[in-house]
């Protein structure tokens, strides 16, 4: 549904479908570590996201933190090593 909606608005936009194989808390751990190390920070004001980041406690039966999860997916994608393509001139 998401891919269809995005492509209806802009057919050429890059979109990557993701599927969770681990729980939210496990996915968030490496990203939380980046924040703790000062390697990642928020620029601007995001009150709803900040509320989720500071208020969600895994295993407490709280509402699922959608903004937190979206941020974790985005930062995980950005932190992936990029493949480089090298071309050699063959004579």
Q: pLDDT tens digits, residue range 1-38? A: 778 888 898 888 877 777 777 788 888 899 999 999 99
Residue 50 placed within a domain: yes
Residue 39 placed within a domain: yes
Q: Other C-beta atoms within 10 Å of 53: how many? A: 17
Domain count, the chain: 1
In the block, which residue shows the tokens 């990642």?
40
Give the pLDDT confidence score for residue 67 in this predicted structure. 93
- Where helices occur in 14-46 by DSSP H, the ranges are 24-36
Residue 31 placed within a domain: yes
- CB 75, CB 28: distance < 8 Å: no
Q: Give the structural domain span for 48.
A: 21-57
Whole-model pTM? 0.70
Give the pLDDT confidence score for residue 50 in this predicted structure. 93
pLDDT digits (tens, 9 = 90+) for 44-77: 999 999 999 999 888 887 777 899 999 999 898 8
Residue 10 placed within a domain: no
Give Cβ neighbours of residue 40 (< 8 Å, ≥ 6 apart): 31, 34, 75
């Amino acid at each position: 549904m998401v891919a269809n909606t995005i492509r209806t608005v802009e057919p050429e936009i890059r979109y990557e479908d993701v599927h969770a194989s681990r729980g939210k808390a496990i996915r968030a751990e490496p990203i939380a570590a980046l924040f703790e190390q000062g390697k990642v920070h928020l620029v601007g004001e995001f009150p709803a996201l900040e509320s989720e980041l500071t208020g969600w406690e895994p295993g407490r039966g709280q509402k699922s933190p959608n903004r937190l999860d979206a941020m974790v997916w985005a930062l995980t994608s950005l932190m992936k090593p990029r493949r480089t393509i090298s071309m050699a001139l063959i004579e």
